[in-house]
Structures are given as C-alpha cells and as structure tokens.
Amino acid sequence: MAAGTAILALAACEQIKSSNPLSPAIAGPIAGVTITPPVTMSPANGTQIAVDQQPITLTIQNATTNGVRPLSYVFDIAADPSFTGTVFSQTGVQPGPSGQTSFRLPQNLPPEHTYYWRAHAQDGANTGAFATAAFSVFTPVVIQAPSPASPADGSTTTTNKPTLTVADSGHSGPVGALSYIFQLAADPNMTNIVATGQVPEAASQTSYVVTASLTGGATYYWRARAADPSHTSLFSNIVSFTTPASGSGPAPNPGPGTPIPNQNDTLTNAIVLNSPVGLQNWPITTTITSLTLAPDGVNVQFSKRDGAGRWPDVPFGDGGSLEYTLGMCLNLSGQWYCSAVIQFWNGLDKNGGPPDQYAQNWFYDPIRWAPMTGHQPAVGETIGFFVCEGDCRNQTTAISSPLRERSNVVLVQMPGSGGGSFTFARTGLAGIRIRK
C-alpha cells in the first residue's frame, strides 16, 4: 500500500512538471499561443552591398507573442528564393534591446550574387512565420584615370594634327567595354575646347588623331578620361604641347620602295597595336625581297622564310604550328600605325584576302585596332608591310615569338582591286608589276 502511494505521488509530480508552460521539455505547440513574424529592416529588400562593406549585419524588428515562453530567432541566408541552397543558418539568437535584434555574419559572402535572407521567432514549443528579403553583393567598378603618354608635357609636335596617346586605365570590378574621351583646348583651364573625340580602348595604349587643323606655333592643352557604358574615370593630368611654326610640318610620306635603313624604319616611330610591346625594337634579321598583293591573298618572300636559316615554327592552335606573322602599317594624319595581324604557317602561300577588302579582313575590331579600324587604303596611298617571327597577333608579350626578330618595313603604293607585285633590292624597290 505504501509503495502504491509513492508511485501515484511521483506520477502526479511529472504531470505537474510537463504542464508548466516554461518547462523546456513541454510538448508543443501550445494551443492558443501566437507568434508574429519579425520585420526585416536591414539589409532592406533590394539593397546592393559593396564587397568591401562586409561582414553584413542582419537586423529585424522583434516579433511578439501572447505566450509566456521567451523567444529566440533563427536567421537563414540562401542563394535562391526557395531557400533550397542555404549558405548560412544561425539558431538561438537572443532578442536585442529596444525592440530590435541584430546578427553580424561571421563570414564574407562571395560577390556578384543575389542573396535571400529570412528570420523567424520560436519559443521551443511554437514557431512564428518567416520574414524574407533579398540583397546583392557586388564588386564596385573603379576606373582609374589614364596616364598621358604623348605628346609629352611641354614638347613640340612634328605636325599640326598630332596624335594624342594615353596609357590605358587600370580598373577593377565588372567593367564594360572601355573607350577614351580626349579633349584638346587652347587654354590650361580646358574651357576653350577646340577638338574632342572618343575612341575604343586599344591594347596597352589608346590614341586619338586630332582632325582639326591647329594653329602653327601655338600652345595647346589636352587631357583624357576612360569610360564604360555606366562608369567614368576622373580626367588625366592636363598636358601641354606646342605645334610647329607655320610652314613646317611632317615630312611627306615616302614613295613606294623608298630605301628603309635597317635600324631606323617606319616601325621605329610607329604606334604598334595588338602586337608585342617593344616590337619596334626587335632586331631586323631578315629583308623582304618580294611582295604580291593578289585578289586571293598576300604573298611575301623574305630571306628567313626558306632554307636552313628560316625562323623556327612555334606552337599554334590545336596542335598546329606557326612560322611568322605579316603586318601592315598605315599613315593616318601624319602618324604611322602598325600591327602584325595575318598569321602564316609553313606551306601557306597566301593569306589576308584581296586588296579591296583589307579594311574588313585585317583591322575589323575597334577594341584591338582603332584608329586603323575600317581604314581601306585608297589606290595610290603609301602603305607598309613587314613580317615578325612567330605569332605576333593578339600578343601583349613576346611569349609566342621566342626569338623576337622581325624584317624591315617595305613601303608600296596601294594597287587597285587587281593587285600588284613588288620586288625589292636591299636598298629599295627593284620592280613593280600592277594588275589591272
């Protein structure tokens, strides 16, 4: 009888414990208890957060409950709105003072993503509904001001239509296609603008050819800035130059076959585009002996092309090899521009297309070849050709041209669509055959 009384007493105590609304062991949910969802405060829905503004702090307005049990919060972050790809979760966050609760993430989130976050309250027996919002983490676009390269500050140009050149801007973040805005003024405050232009970015350096005729013997000031479709850099430093006195100017373009001194040819003072930096200074180890500009392509012969002393092939493409690259030089407003662009492999006799399609076949991309882009040489216009060892196209270094050797530049007059053939002695043009 005494034992039975003890068992009943113990059962009564357990029943009292389990019915205590503050007991951690209570079975839920408790009928009649309602927990409201919290309110997301920060980051607000649609907020964009720079990657360097992390770690992020999540803040909510506290939930309310009509129950007696204390609340805690759960925070979740996911990469999708359905929260199937949760990237972070934290439970047991205690309510903050003044009706708000904040939680600082212990880690940074990768940029260039949209994230979804939510929070809800719970008391161990009852759970409230979620409150949800989204934010994005991004890398800010920063475009540095370009650096003026030429004409140098305080210099005197050789032409009244100079070429303004800047070293390309450094940048970070998801930058779009860059272009450069050049301004030329007659005063150091850049208020009397006499010329302006915008050109796509070229490799390493970007140039703008002044088309306006400037006054001889006058001082001008120029600057440039870079921009993509949505962002703009600061302007560069302002640089001054003086034009040559009236009556002076650039020397006339040399005629076809003009002798080219081996160490001081057209490439020496040219702006080189989309080819290895320093190509101008590569040793001239071969001489072009003949050039054929035919309707089915260009054929060039030079002393290193055939025989035991020819340039070695370099790896190219999917298991192939390349022997040399053919380049062209154009004189635009008194400034020579050169680019090695047509690739030849051993056994390829002609490449580059017909003469009347050089603009569309050679320099079709303004990002790589402006201002050469779209320039179709006129019949009779002086143009230059050269070859360089290995692969010189799309190269900013000389990795694909291990010997770093090139030919002289031969200058010819642009033939008509029928093409023409030119032969060269070491000292100049030896013969011409023009096709009608």
pLDDT at 87: 93
Residues 6 or more apart from 72 whose CB is under 8 A from it? 91, 92, 93, 94, 95, 121, 122, 123
Chain centroid offset of residue 144 CA: 13
pLDDT, one tens digit per residue, over 325-364 is 999 999 888 888 999 999 998 888 999 999 989 988 999 8
What pLDDT does 307 receive? 66
What distance in Å separates the CA atoms of residue 232 and residue 383, rounded to the nearest whole number? 36
Determine if the peptide bond prior to 148 is cis (ω within 30°): no
pLDDT digits (tens, 9 = 90+) for 292-323: 999 999 999 988 876 667 888 888 877 788 89
How many CB atoms within 10 Å of residue 90? 15
Residue 246 confidence (pLDDT)? 60
For the cut 90, the answer to whether the pLDDT of residue 127 exceeds it is yes
pTM metric for this prediction: 0.43
State pLDDT tens for residues 134-193: 999 998 888 999 999 999 999 998 888 899 999 999 988 888 899 999 999 999 999 888
Average pLDDT for 107-120: 94
pLDDT of residue 328: 95
Identify whether the C-beta of residue 237 lies closer than 8 Å to the C-beta of residue 162. Answer: no
Q: Give 19-50 pLDDT, tens digit per residue.
A: 566 766 676 788 899 999 999 999 999 999 98
Q: Is the peptide bond before 151 cis (omega within 30 degrees of 0)?
A: yes
Amino acid residing at 219: T
Structural domains in the chain, CATH included, are 34-138 (2.60.40.10), 142-242 (2.60.40.10), 266-434 (no CATH)
% of the chain residues with pLDDT over 70: 85
pLDDT averaged over every residue in the chain: 84
Question: CA-to-CA distance for 123 and 182, rounded, in angstroms?
Answer: 65
Task: Note the maximum CA span of the chain.
Answer: 134
pLDDT at 122: 94
Question: Is the predicted pLDDT of residue 423 greater than 60, yes or no?
Answer: yes
Whether the CB-CB separation of 328 and 388 falls below 8 Å is answered with: no
What is the spatial distance between Cα 278 and Cα 268, in angstroms, rounded to a whole number?
A: 10
Nearest CA to 115 among 74, 70, 72, 85?
85
Peptide bond into 377 cis (omega under 30): no
- Cα–Cα distance measured from residue 7 to residue 147, given in angstroms and rounded to the nearest whole number: 92
Task: Name 287's Cβ contacts closer than 8 Å, sequence gap at least 6.
Answer: 302, 303, 407, 408, 424, 426
φ/ψ of residue 2, rounded to 5: -65, -40
If you search the block for the tokens 């919060």, which residue do you land on?
A: 73
